[in-house]
Protein backbone atom coordinates (compact mmCIF):
# COMPACT_ATOMS: atom_id res chain seq x y z
CA UNK A 1 0.00 0.00 0.00
CA UNK A 2 1.36 3.40 -1.05
CA UNK A 3 -1.00 6.33 -0.55
CA UNK A 4 -0.55 10.10 -0.02
CA UNK A 5 -1.94 9.57 3.49
CA UNK A 6 -0.78 6.34 5.10
CA UNK A 7 -2.17 4.46 8.11
CA UNK A 8 -2.46 4.84 10.97
CA UNK A 9 -4.22 8.21 11.11
CA UNK A 10 -6.14 9.40 14.19
CA UNK A 11 -9.44 10.96 13.06
CA UNK A 12 -10.29 14.63 13.39
CA UNK A 13 -12.42 15.23 16.49
CA UNK A 14 -15.27 17.49 17.59
CA UNK A 15 -15.80 19.55 20.72
CA UNK A 16 -19.17 19.54 22.44
CA UNK A 17 -21.30 22.69 22.35
CA UNK A 18 -24.65 23.30 24.01
CA UNK A 19 -26.54 24.66 21.00
CA UNK A 20 -26.46 24.57 17.22
CA UNK A 21 -23.51 26.77 16.18
CA UNK A 22 -23.73 29.56 13.61
CA UNK A 23 -21.38 30.50 10.82
CA UNK A 24 -19.98 29.10 7.61
CA UNK A 25 -20.59 25.48 8.55
CA UNK A 26 -21.67 22.18 7.06
CA UNK A 27 -24.05 20.23 9.30
CA UNK A 28 -24.28 16.42 9.31
CA UNK A 29 -26.02 13.74 11.38
CA UNK A 30 -23.78 12.36 14.13
CA UNK A 31 -23.74 8.63 13.50
CA UNK A 32 -23.65 6.18 16.40
CA UNK A 33 -21.14 3.56 15.33
CA UNK A 34 -17.43 2.87 15.01
CA UNK A 35 -15.41 5.81 13.68
CA UNK A 36 -13.28 4.40 10.87
CA UNK A 37 -10.78 5.60 8.30
CA UNK A 38 -10.66 3.54 5.12
CA UNK A 39 -7.39 3.18 3.22
CA UNK A 40 -7.71 1.71 -0.26
CA UNK A 41 -4.91 1.12 -2.76
CA UNK A 42 -6.16 -1.17 -5.50
CA UNK A 43 -6.82 -4.62 -4.03
CA UNK A 44 -5.36 -3.58 -0.68
CA UNK A 45 -7.84 -2.18 1.83
CA UNK A 46 -7.48 -1.42 5.52
CA UNK A 47 -10.10 -0.28 8.00
CA UNK A 48 -8.58 1.81 10.79
CA UNK A 49 -10.34 2.63 14.05
CA UNK A 50 -10.48 5.76 16.18
CA UNK A 51 -7.66 4.39 18.34
CA UNK A 52 -5.66 3.63 15.17
CA UNK A 53 -6.03 -0.14 15.47
CA UNK A 54 -7.00 -2.16 12.37
CA UNK A 55 -10.58 -3.47 12.24
CA UNK A 56 -10.42 -4.99 8.77
CA UNK A 57 -10.81 -8.61 9.88
CA UNK A 58 -14.04 -7.94 11.77
CA UNK A 59 -16.00 -6.66 8.76
CA UNK A 60 -15.27 -8.91 5.75
CA UNK A 61 -18.56 -7.97 4.08
CA UNK A 62 -17.55 -4.30 4.15
CA UNK A 63 -14.12 -4.99 2.69
CA UNK A 64 -15.69 -6.39 -0.47
CA UNK A 65 -18.37 -3.69 -0.64
CA UNK A 66 -15.82 -0.92 -0.23
CA UNK A 67 -13.66 -2.33 -3.01
CA UNK A 68 -16.71 -2.33 -5.28
CA UNK A 69 -17.78 1.23 -4.44
CA UNK A 70 -14.71 3.32 -3.68
CA UNK A 71 -12.22 4.87 -6.10
CA UNK A 72 -9.16 2.65 -6.71
CA UNK A 73 -6.90 4.80 -4.54
CA UNK A 74 -8.38 6.85 -1.70
CA UNK A 75 -8.55 7.51 2.03
CA UNK A 76 -11.99 8.19 3.53
CA UNK A 77 -13.21 9.08 7.00
CA UNK A 78 -16.57 7.75 8.09
CA UNK A 79 -18.57 5.56 10.44
CA UNK A 80 -19.35 1.85 10.50
CA UNK A 81 -22.97 1.43 11.61
CA UNK A 82 -25.43 -1.40 11.98
CA UNK A 83 -29.19 -1.17 11.52
CA UNK A 84 -31.12 -3.10 14.15
CA UNK A 85 -33.64 -5.87 13.61
CA UNK A 86 -36.49 -3.35 13.63
CA UNK A 87 -35.02 -1.76 10.50
CA UNK A 88 -35.67 1.81 11.67
CA UNK A 89 -32.83 2.59 14.08
CA UNK A 90 -29.13 1.96 14.59
CA UNK A 91 -28.09 -0.77 17.03
CA UNK A 92 -24.75 0.01 18.67
CA UNK A 93 -24.97 -2.99 21.01
CA UNK A 94 -25.25 -5.35 18.05
CA UNK A 95 -22.36 -3.55 16.37
CA UNK A 96 -20.16 -4.14 19.41
CA UNK A 97 -20.83 -7.86 19.12
CA UNK A 98 -19.14 -7.81 15.71
CA UNK A 99 -15.75 -7.49 17.42
CA UNK A 100 -14.98 -11.13 18.14
CA UNK A 101 -11.69 -13.07 18.25
CA UNK A 102 -12.99 -16.22 16.53
CA UNK A 103 -12.86 -16.16 12.72
CA UNK A 104 -15.85 -18.50 12.49
CA UNK A 105 -17.92 -16.15 14.64
CA UNK A 106 -16.82 -13.14 12.60
CA UNK A 107 -17.97 -14.87 9.42
CA UNK A 108 -21.33 -15.83 10.94
CA UNK A 109 -22.02 -12.32 12.25
CA UNK A 110 -21.07 -10.78 8.91
CA UNK A 111 -23.90 -12.82 7.39
CA UNK A 112 -26.44 -12.37 10.19
CA UNK A 113 -25.85 -8.69 11.08
CA UNK A 114 -24.08 -7.02 8.15
CA UNK A 115 -22.71 -3.53 8.72
CA UNK A 116 -22.82 -0.38 6.61
CA UNK A 117 -20.26 2.34 6.01
CA UNK A 118 -21.24 6.02 5.98
CA UNK A 119 -18.57 8.29 4.47
CA UNK A 120 -18.28 11.91 5.57
CA UNK A 121 -14.78 13.16 4.70
CA UNK A 122 -12.01 12.69 2.16
CA UNK A 123 -8.34 12.63 3.14
CA UNK A 124 -6.77 11.48 -0.12
CA UNK A 125 -7.76 10.68 -3.69
CA UNK A 126 -5.43 9.17 -6.27
CA UNK A 127 -2.01 10.75 -5.72
CA UNK A 128 -3.42 13.85 -4.00
CA UNK A 129 -3.41 14.60 -0.26
CA UNK A 130 -6.63 16.45 0.57
CA UNK A 131 -6.02 17.00 4.29
CA UNK A 132 -4.76 20.56 3.77
CA UNK A 133 -7.71 21.59 1.62
CA UNK A 134 -10.85 23.27 3.02
CA UNK A 135 -13.75 21.03 3.92
CA UNK A 136 -15.98 22.55 1.23
CA UNK A 137 -13.53 21.26 -1.40
CA UNK A 138 -13.13 17.88 0.31
CA UNK A 139 -16.91 17.44 0.48
CA UNK A 140 -17.38 18.28 -3.20
CA UNK A 141 -14.68 15.78 -4.18
CA UNK A 142 -16.22 13.15 -1.89
CA UNK A 143 -19.66 13.59 -3.46
CA UNK A 144 -18.14 13.13 -6.91
CA UNK A 145 -16.09 10.10 -5.81
CA UNK A 146 -19.13 8.34 -4.36
CA UNK A 147 -21.68 9.42 -6.96
CA UNK A 148 -22.16 5.85 -8.12
CA UNK A 149 -21.90 4.10 -4.75
CA UNK A 150 -24.55 1.65 -3.59
CA UNK A 151 -25.52 0.09 -0.27
CA UNK A 152 -23.93 -0.76 2.06
CA UNK A 153 -21.63 2.19 1.24
CA UNK A 154 -23.30 5.56 1.75
CA UNK A 155 -22.51 9.26 1.68
CA UNK A 156 -23.76 11.11 4.74
CA UNK A 157 -26.40 13.77 4.32
CA UNK A 158 -25.14 17.34 4.75
CA UNK A 159 -26.63 20.83 4.76
CA UNK A 160 -25.40 24.38 5.23
CA UNK A 161 -28.81 25.49 6.49
CA UNK A 162 -28.99 25.78 10.27
CA UNK A 163 -32.77 25.37 10.40
CA UNK A 164 -32.54 22.10 8.49
CA UNK A 165 -29.86 20.92 10.91
CA UNK A 166 -32.09 21.75 13.87
CA UNK A 167 -34.90 19.80 12.25
CA UNK A 168 -32.59 16.82 11.78
CA UNK A 169 -31.54 17.10 15.41
CA UNK A 170 -35.15 16.65 16.53
CA UNK A 171 -36.10 14.13 13.88
CA UNK A 172 -33.18 11.71 14.21
CA UNK A 173 -33.18 11.30 17.99
CA UNK A 174 -35.37 8.22 17.87
CA UNK A 175 -33.33 6.60 15.13
CA UNK A 176 -30.28 5.86 17.25
CA UNK A 177 -28.23 8.84 16.07
CA UNK A 178 -26.20 10.94 18.51
CA UNK A 179 -27.02 14.44 17.30
CA UNK A 180 -25.41 16.83 14.80
CA UNK A 181 -21.80 17.52 13.79
CA UNK A 182 -20.88 20.94 12.35
CA UNK A 183 -17.73 21.39 10.25
CA UNK A 184 -16.15 24.73 9.29
CA UNK A 185 -16.32 24.97 5.50
CA UNK A 186 -12.87 26.53 5.32
CA UNK A 187 -11.27 24.13 7.80
CA UNK A 188 -8.49 21.70 6.92
CA UNK A 189 -8.44 18.09 8.13
CA UNK A 190 -6.52 18.05 11.41
CA UNK A 191 -6.02 14.55 12.85
CA UNK A 192 -6.66 14.21 16.59
CA UNK A 193 -7.65 17.89 16.89
CA UNK A 194 -11.06 19.11 18.06
CA UNK A 195 -11.86 21.52 15.24
CA UNK A 196 -15.44 20.41 14.56
CA UNK A 197 -18.50 20.97 16.77
CA UNK A 198 -20.98 18.41 18.06
CA UNK A 199 -24.43 18.93 19.49
CA UNK A 200 -25.59 15.79 21.27
CA UNK A 201 -28.96 14.68 22.56
CA UNK A 202 -29.01 14.79 26.32
CA UNK A 203 -31.20 12.88 28.71
CA UNK A 204 -30.92 12.80 32.48
CA UNK A 205 -31.77 10.08 34.98
CA UNK A 206 -31.49 9.62 38.72
CA UNK A 207 -29.37 6.48 38.98
CA UNK A 208 -28.40 4.17 41.78
CA UNK A 209 -24.67 3.87 42.51
CA UNK A 210 -24.34 0.11 42.81
CA UNK A 211 -20.58 -0.02 43.27
CA UNK A 212 -17.27 1.38 42.17
CA UNK A 213 -13.98 0.35 40.65
CA UNK A 214 -10.69 1.68 41.96
CA UNK A 215 -8.46 3.88 39.83
CA UNK A 216 -5.33 2.46 38.22
CA UNK A 217 -3.24 5.01 40.12
CA UNK A 218 -3.92 3.33 43.46
CA UNK A 219 -6.54 2.02 45.90
CA UNK A 220 -7.54 5.40 47.36
CA UNK A 221 -9.22 6.87 44.27
CA UNK A 222 -12.38 6.04 42.32
CA UNK A 223 -11.85 4.78 38.77
CA UNK A 224 -15.53 4.64 37.85
CA UNK A 225 -18.98 4.42 39.42
CA UNK A 226 -21.30 1.60 38.35
CA UNK A 227 -24.81 2.90 37.74
CA UNK A 228 -28.18 1.16 37.77
CA UNK A 229 -31.89 1.81 37.40
CA UNK A 230 -34.61 -0.22 39.06
CA UNK A 231 -36.93 -2.22 36.81
CA UNK A 232 -40.64 -2.80 37.31
CA UNK A 233 -39.95 -6.21 38.87
CA UNK A 234 -37.62 -4.68 41.47
CA UNK A 235 -34.40 -5.84 39.86
CA UNK A 236 -31.55 -3.43 39.32
CA UNK A 237 -30.51 -3.05 35.68
CA UNK A 238 -26.98 -1.96 34.85
CA UNK A 239 -27.10 1.19 32.71
CA UNK A 240 -23.41 2.01 32.46
CA UNK A 241 -20.51 3.62 34.27
CA UNK A 242 -19.20 7.13 34.80
CA UNK A 243 -15.55 7.93 35.34
CA UNK A 244 -14.79 11.40 33.97
CA UNK A 245 -13.59 12.93 37.24
CA UNK A 246 -10.52 15.03 38.09
CA UNK A 247 -8.09 13.17 40.34
CA UNK A 248 -8.96 15.30 43.37
CA UNK A 249 -12.64 14.43 42.97
CA UNK A 250 -11.79 10.73 42.54
CA UNK A 251 -10.08 10.76 45.92
CA UNK A 252 -12.92 12.70 47.53
CA UNK A 253 -15.49 10.24 46.21
CA UNK A 254 -13.47 7.32 47.53
CA UNK A 255 -13.49 8.82 51.03
CA UNK A 256 -17.19 9.70 50.84
CA UNK A 257 -18.26 6.21 49.77
CA UNK A 258 -16.39 4.20 52.40
CA UNK A 259 -19.25 4.37 54.91
CA UNK A 260 -21.57 2.91 52.26
CA UNK A 261 -19.41 -0.04 51.25
CA UNK A 262 -21.19 -3.34 51.82
CA UNK A 263 -20.82 -6.95 50.64
CA UNK A 264 -22.66 -9.04 48.07
CA UNK A 265 -25.12 -10.49 50.59
CA UNK A 266 -28.42 -8.89 49.68
CA UNK A 267 -26.88 -6.85 46.87
CA UNK A 268 -29.01 -6.73 43.67
CA UNK A 269 -26.01 -8.01 41.72
CA UNK A 270 -25.10 -10.76 44.16
CA UNK A 271 -25.00 -13.27 41.31
CA UNK A 272 -21.95 -11.43 39.94
CA UNK A 273 -19.96 -12.66 42.94
CA UNK A 274 -20.83 -16.29 42.28
CA UNK A 275 -20.57 -16.24 38.50
CA UNK A 276 -17.53 -14.08 37.90
CA UNK A 277 -15.84 -13.74 41.25
CA UNK A 278 -17.32 -10.27 41.56
CA UNK A 279 -15.95 -9.20 38.20
CA UNK A 280 -18.91 -7.64 36.45
CA UNK A 281 -22.51 -6.51 36.95
CA UNK A 282 -23.44 -7.49 33.40
CA UNK A 283 -24.82 -11.00 33.15
CA UNK A 284 -23.91 -11.32 29.47
CA UNK A 285 -20.35 -12.61 29.19
CA UNK A 286 -17.23 -10.74 28.15
CA UNK A 287 -16.16 -9.04 24.98
CA UNK A 288 -12.94 -8.06 23.32
CA UNK A 289 -13.35 -4.58 24.83
CA UNK A 290 -13.04 -6.06 28.34
CA UNK A 291 -10.72 -8.98 27.58
CA UNK A 292 -7.75 -9.09 29.92
CA UNK A 293 -9.06 -6.27 32.11
CA UNK A 294 -9.81 -6.48 35.82
CA UNK A 295 -13.51 -5.68 36.02
CA UNK A 296 -13.94 -6.39 39.73
CA UNK A 297 -15.96 -3.84 41.67
CA UNK A 298 -16.66 -2.88 45.25
CA UNK A 299 -20.41 -3.10 46.08
Residues labelled as active-site residues: 30
Q: Which helix (H) or strand (E) segment is 228 a member of?
A: strand 222-230
Which residues face 75 on adjacent strands?
39, 124
> Which residue in 131, 150, 13 sits closest to 141, CA to CA?
131
Q: Which class for 88: exposed (0-12), middle (13-18), buried (19 or more C-beta within 10 A)?
A: exposed
DSSP string, 95-114: HHTT--S-HHHHHHHHHHS-
Q: Which class for 236: exposed (0-12), middle (13-18), buried (19 or more C-beta within 10 A)?
A: middle
Q: Which helix (H) or strand (E) segment is 179 a member of?
A: strand 179-184
Distance of CA 223 to the CA centre of its chain: 21
Amino acid sequence: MQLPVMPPVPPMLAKAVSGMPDGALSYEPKWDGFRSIIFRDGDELEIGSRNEKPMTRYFPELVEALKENLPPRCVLDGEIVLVGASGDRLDFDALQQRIHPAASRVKLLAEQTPAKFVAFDLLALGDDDYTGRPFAERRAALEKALAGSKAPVHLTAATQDKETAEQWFRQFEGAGLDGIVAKPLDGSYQPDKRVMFKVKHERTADCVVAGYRVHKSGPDAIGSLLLGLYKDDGGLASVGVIGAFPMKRRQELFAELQTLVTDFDGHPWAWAKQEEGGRTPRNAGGSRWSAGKDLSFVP
